[in-house]
Chains A and B, each alone.
Chain A
Amino acid sequence: MPRAITREEALLETIARVIADETGAARPPRIRRGTRAGQIPGWDSLTHCRILAGLEDSLRIRIDIDRTYEFGDVGELVDYLSELASFRD
């Protein structure tokens, strides 16, 4: 029986999809918790803002504007989004 997808995996999938949308990539990039913006083609500071806005729309959450540049890597973003999503739940 296939294993159920965890919340973290679901978030990583959503993030990868939004990154692809905002960077214009043909398919979602492979990302892990340790992935940093500089490792993904097209993920610059302006695209970063658009990725966060895309995540807000996809997850129906509101990201604190002061946290915009605080995420050192995808893992920190996942933790923050999990926190917001559980608060919303």
Chain B
Amino acid sequence: MNRLLSAILQKIRRDPDGIFCHFLWRDTTRALSWSDLGAQISAVAVACKDLALPFGGVVPIFLRHRPELYSSFVGAMFAGLVPTFMPCPSHKQDPQIYWNSHRKLLAHIEPSAIVLDKKTLFEMRQSGLPIDRYPLILIEEIEPAAGFLPRFPDERAVAFQQHSSGTTGLKKGVALSYRAVTDQLDAYAAVLHLERRDRIVSWLPLYHDMGLVACFLLPLFKGIPFVHLDHFDWVARPRRLFDAIAAHRGTLTWLPNFAFEHLVASVGEDTRVDLGSMRAFINCSEPCRMETFERFLNRFRGWGVAPNAMQCCYAMAETVFCVSQTRLDSPPQCLAVEPRSTHPGGKLAVLAEGYGAAARLMNVGRPIDGIEISIRDDNDRPLPEGSVGEIALRGDFLFAGYFRDSSLTAERIRNGWYYSRDLGCVIGGDLYVLGRLDDLLIVNGRNFYAHEIEALVDDLGHTKPGRCVAFTSWDERARNNNLIVVAETKDGIGVDPDELVKHVTLSIVSTVNVQPRDVRLVAPGWLIKTTSGKISRSENSRKYLVEREVSEGWAHA
């Protein structure tokens, strides 16, 4: 029995007038009922059926914030297809560069069909993307359909794919079965003590696992209404999240760490609303910081935010979503540790709170039922409690593998354990996450691989091949990670350096939608190599920061 699709169909039949989503767009709210969802699902499923698409075919969905997001995803599942949400370019991105960068991705996915709107289709064609070689489902042209015969794929079948962040050419598709998804949703709902009266409020896009699983599929499966804002709207007008919470008596929301900071910095006292209905503000998807929680609490305690509402979650697409979650009835906790003890293989040295040189590590809770955590050394051997090593996971809702990438799957899943490349430590049964083992960069809650950004700059052909480095630096003022790119210039190419910086910046923004804080062009020979001849990210990051400090010192002198 397919529990996910059965639960949705049951709600449509038994509670047709009930609200499944409050859809927010700019200053308007639209209440979408289960029968609205049912009618739109029928229309999408019939459109898929008319195209005679193969069972299990992958259907990327390229839609901006609109109510058909939900029905296109669920409708594709009811047609026996495998939907996957894909991001559309933001206002900052050049659509031509953005869509053109999808050639490799679409060739890899080989979509059975693509769901999109007319604007996106126009932009894709303009960019030269060979979009017309795929069957297209234009959302504006879907005809209402009176009824359809839903297909109920087996629980072991792939329900959908989630795609990692990063440059489009190298996005990895995480294939998740129906059983893995419903097992995760049951386990996560239990730890959240999810009840009918809960209201999930979110601005997160659905191509992000936190938005898709925690803020869309969880309420959909459990029959709880959710409130959904457009993420572009939220970034420009962050207080809208609070307005939505107050208007709908929201109880749960998930936010990356930077979003807490953005709210603290943006929301004025004059817009005060009652946030007392909130059971949890869950910090997830980038390193959680105690200082951020403290600032958020100081700022909004008077608005009804309780210390117990500040929560952390450790999650990833490869386990559908949640791995560990803090207890919803307890305030956040952190450990003060000796910074030099946080390297792989070391034993974490816990210090007394308030010790000057201590690093503060957030407790991200215990594993939820159905998932097991093991901290491993370089040779895949389990380490004792308190040791720092790679976080390995196994359990009921582990993904089946990366779509059409057996070598990466084999590299990451070994002897039934998924090796996350995250560094962590377990103390007293609670998980602490220390960082990444490889070159993953996290900016504004989104993941990017340094080597992908470096390859992108290399491909532009104006800098020395292989002589580029991307890294992040913590900006205390903005309380966020900044992306920094340093590239060596070629001799005598006759390109204006300012124009080159603009070109590199625009290409990065348009391809991966992250604004580099600095693109620094340096003379040949500036970048430091390791003994094995590789460009060292850590050494060059240090060199860059020292030079910047010196130049800023001069500027302020």
Contact = CB atoms under 8 A, between A and B. Distances in A.
Interface of A: 22-24, 38, 41-42, 44-47, 49-50, 52-53, 57, 65-66, 68-70
A68 B477 contact: no
19 contacts: A38-B501, A38-B515, A38-B517, A38-B518, A41-B552, A42-B478, A44-B475, A44-B482, A46-B258, A46-B262, A46-B265, A46-B480, A49-B237, A52-B236, A53-B237, A65-B233, A65-B237, A66-B91, A69-B90
Nearest to B556: A26
Interface in B74-114: 90-92
B91 A45 contact: no
B233 A69 contact: no
B505 interface: yes
B102 to A, nearest CB: 21
B235 interface: yes
Interface of B: 26, 90-92, 232-233, 235-238, 258, 262, 265-266, 268, 444, 475, 477-478, 480, 482, 501, 505, 515, 517-518, 552
Given A69-B92, A70-B91, A49 B480 contact: no
A23 B236 CA distance: 16
A20 to B, nearest CB: 11
B513 to A, nearest CB: 9
Contact of A47 (B232, B237, B238, B478): B478
Main secondary structure of the interface of B (DSSP, over half): mixed
A49 B266 contact: yes
Contacts of B480: 44, 46
B374 to A, nearest CB: 37
Contacts, number: 59
Nearest to A49: B236
Contacts of B518: 38
Contact of A53 (B258, B266, B475, B478): B266
Ranked 9 nearest A-B pairs via Cβ: A69-B91, A24-B477, A69-B92, A68-B236, A49-B236, A45-B515, A42-B477, A65-B236, A50-B266
Given A23-B477, A42-B477, A44-B517, A57 B268 contact: yes
A44 to B, nearest CB: 6
Nearest to B265: A50
Contacts of B477: 23-24, 41-42
Given A44-B515, A45-B444, A49-B237, 19 more contacts: A23-B477, A38-B501, A38-B515, A38-B518, A41-B552, A44-B475, A44-B482, A45-B92, A46-B235, A46-B478, A49-B235, A49-B236, A49-B266, A50-B262, A50-B265, A53-B237, A66-B91, A69-B90, A69-B91
Contacts of B236: 49, 52-53, 65, 68
The winner among A44, A52, A68 for most chain B CB atoms within 10 A is A44
The winner among B236, B268, B515 for most chain A CB atoms within 10 A is B236
A69 B91 CA distance: 6
Contacts of A53: 236-237, 266
A44 B92 contact: no
Contacts of B258: 46
Contacts of B505: 38
A70 B235 CA distance: 15
The winner among A38, A42, A52 for most chain B CB atoms within 10 A is A38
B91 A68 contact: yes
Contacts of B475: 42, 44
Given A50-B265, A50-B266, A66-B91, A45 B478 contact: no
A70 B552 CA distance: 29
Nearest to B92: A69
A67 to B, nearest CB: 9
Contacts of B238: 49
A47 B261 CA distance: 11
Contacts of A50: 262, 265-266
